[in-house]
Amino acid sequence: MGETTHKAGWQVIVSRAAGVLVLLAGVLLAAGLCTASTPHDNPVPTIFEPHSTPAESIQHLSHFVLAITGLIFLVVFSLLSYVVVKFRRRVGEAGREPAQVYGSTQIELAWTIIPILIVVVLFLATARVIHAIQDAPRPPEAVEVTAIGHQFWWEFRYPKLGIVTANELHVPVSDPAHPTPTFLKLLSADTDHSFWVPQLAGKTDLIPNRVNETWLDPHEAGIFLGQCAQYCGTQHAKMLLRVYVDGHEDFNAWVHAQQRPAHQDEKELGGKHVFETTACVNCHAVSGTNGTGRFGPGLTHLMSRRTIAAGAAENTPENLRLWIRNPDSVKPGSLMPAMKLSDAELDALVRYLETLR
């Protein structure tokens, strides 16, 4: 009982303070509202429109923190403004010094003890949310994903489902009655990276020679954008990330499609030959071919992805062609080399890649 009234108290403070008092929060909430979008497409990855349990608990905590800091701001800002206006030296006062005051133990004790109490309250609220997010139990229905950061793309492996994909993560909607959260094991193949999809969860780093974890628990289908949030080298900027939150049927359909071996099209054997006989296979894998490289994204179901080059370009035949011909024109500094293929080889290769659904 006491807890609920306490919470209601928070929310009252929050709704009043966050909108009106807090300078920053006010501006950003306005920004968030202006850019509000349909649940299926979330072009603005704002932290104030969370759609997943960990991001939501962070948002609740952040409202509480914004309310407290907003109140402190208002009080101290008013005091400072009052002092600056009220105690100006006025004309004709020159020459006489004001009363010399050296301090006041009572007042100084007050402005020591009150902040200490605020800190204790803030700390307890924070520790609770840290524990709730970091030490969350993992239900048996949870989807397991291993995310591996590479310069400059994401590898996603679903060990229980036998799926390997890249840059576009698919997770199921988690119904609060039957939660199916997604737990991610975070690894890095080279330098530090950070997994950040603001509307689904706070960021967690992917650090080489270390295993980290995070989890998502999305309540709504849609596409959620994010990107690498730890500087990882030249093309850190174009290490984009998108998460598709699918309804259960869509997710199962996607899983089945991904579990199938690569599509074999007898008409495109020429392009397959180009793929198998050039350096492509050193870095890229396509099931059923001799391409087993893991240095670059797997291409078995390339056409199931909407973007290429870790989100740097849309997945269209023109962009694929451009990307293979001259990666630097799409993503300068990426580790994909220019393949120096003839036009005929390039056409055949792109036609072949387009069959990899």
Partner 1 sequence: MSSDVIAIQTPEGAGRSWLEMLHAWVTTVDHKRLGILYILYALVFLVIGGIEAMIMRIQLMRPHNDFVGPQVFNRMFTMHGTTMIFFVAMPILFGFANYLVPLMIGARDMAFPRLNAFGFWLTALGGFLLYFSFVGGSGLYGAGNAPDVGWFAYAPLTSRAFSVGHSADYWTIALLVSGFGSISTAINIIATILCMRCPGMKLSRMPLLAWLNLVMAAMVILALSPLTAAQIMLSIDRYLGGHFFDTQAGGSATLWMHFFWIFGHPEVYVLIIPAFAFASEIIPVFSRKPIFGYPVMVAATICIGFIGLSVWAHHMFTIGMTSYSNSFFVFTTMAIAVPTGIKIFNWLGTMWGGKIQFKTPMLFCIGFLFQFLIAGLTGVMMSVAPFDWQLGNSYFVVAHFHYVIVGGILFCLFGAFYYWFPKITGRMLSETLGKLHFWLFAIGFHLTFDSMHIPGLLGMPRRIYTYEPGRGWEIWNLIETIGVFIQGIATLVFVANLVLSYFKGPEAGNDPWDAWTLEWSVSSPPPPYNFASIPTVASRRPLWDRKHSEDPDSRYE
Give the max Cα distance, the chain.
Answer: 99
Residue with tokens 């989100």: 311
CA distance 332 to 235: 7
Interface with partner 1, residue 33, by CB under 8 A = no
- # residues contacting partner 1 (CB under 8 A): 96
Closest CB to partner 1 among 102 and 177? Answer: 102
At 123, which amino acid appears?
A: F
Interface with partner 1, residue 193, by CB under 8 A = no
Q: Which of 8, 127, 338, 344 binds partner 1 (CB under 8 A)?
A: 127
CA distance 195 to 232: 12
Which helix (H) or strand (E) covers residue 14, if one does?
helix 2-16
- Per-residue string for binding with partner 1, 3-32, x by CB under 8 A? --------------------xx--xx--xx
Interface with partner 1, residue 295, by CB under 8 A = no
Residue 174 DSSP code: -
Site for partner 1 in 244-283 (CB under 8 A): none
Closest CB to partner 1 among 107 and 177? Answer: 107
Q: Which of 19, 39, 162, 208 binds partner 1 (CB under 8 A)?
A: 208
Closest CB to partner 1 among 164 and 200? Answer: 200
Cα atoms found within 13 Å of the Cα of residue 58, Cβ hemisphere only: 19
CA distance 148 to 347: 31
Nearest Cα neighbor of 335 from 344, 343, 347, 327 is 327
Closest CB to partner 1 among 129 and 339? Answer: 129
In this structure, how many other beta carbons lie within 10 angstroms of the beta carbon of residue 301? Answer: 23
Whether 166 contacts 155, CB under 8 Å: yes
Sign of the four-CA dihedral 250, 256, 261, 265: negative
Whether 183 contacts 142, CB under 8 Å: yes
Stretch that binds partner 1, among 122-130, 137-145, 314-322, 342-350 (CB under 8 A): 122-130
Q: Which of 149, 172, 181, 198 binds partner 1 (CB under 8 A)?
A: 198
Q: Which of 144, 146, 180, 207 binds partner 1 (CB under 8 A)?
A: 207
Q: Which of 1, 2, 6, 101 binds partner 1 (CB under 8 A)?
A: 101
User: CB of residue 22 vs partner 1: minimum separation in angstroms?
Assistant: 9
Interface with partner 1, residue 79, by CB under 8 A = yes
Q: What are the residues facing 192 on neighbouring strands?
A: none
Site for partner 1 in 219-238 (CB under 8 A): 225-238
User: CB of residue 40 vs partner 1: minimum separation in angstroms?
Assistant: 15
Stretch that binds partner 1, among 132-140, 257-265, 296-304, 338-346 (CB under 8 A): 132-140
User: CB of residue 110 vs partner 1: minimum separation in angstroms?
Assistant: 9
DSSP secondary structure letters along 94-134: TTPPPP-----HHHHHHHHHHHHHHHHHHHHHHHHHHHHHH
- Per-residue string for binding with partner 1, 44-73, x by CB under 8 A? xxxxx------x-xx--xx--xx--x--xx
Q: Which of 87, 91, 177, 267 binds partner 1 (CB under 8 A)?
A: 87
Q: Which of 5, 6, 88, 178 binds partner 1 (CB under 8 A)?
A: 88
Q: Which of 5, 38, 106, 107 binds partner 1 (CB under 8 A)?
A: 107
Closest CB to partner 1 among 133 and 320? Answer: 133
Angle 317-325/343-353 helices, nearest 10 degrees? 130
Residue 175 DSSP code: B
For residue 152, whether the previous peptide bond is cis, meaning omega lies within 30 degrees of 0, is yes
Whether 215 contacts 54, CB under 8 Å: yes
Site for partner 1 in 303-342 (CB under 8 A): 311, 332-333
Closest CB to partner 1 among 142 and 330? Answer: 330
CA distance 336 to 198: 28
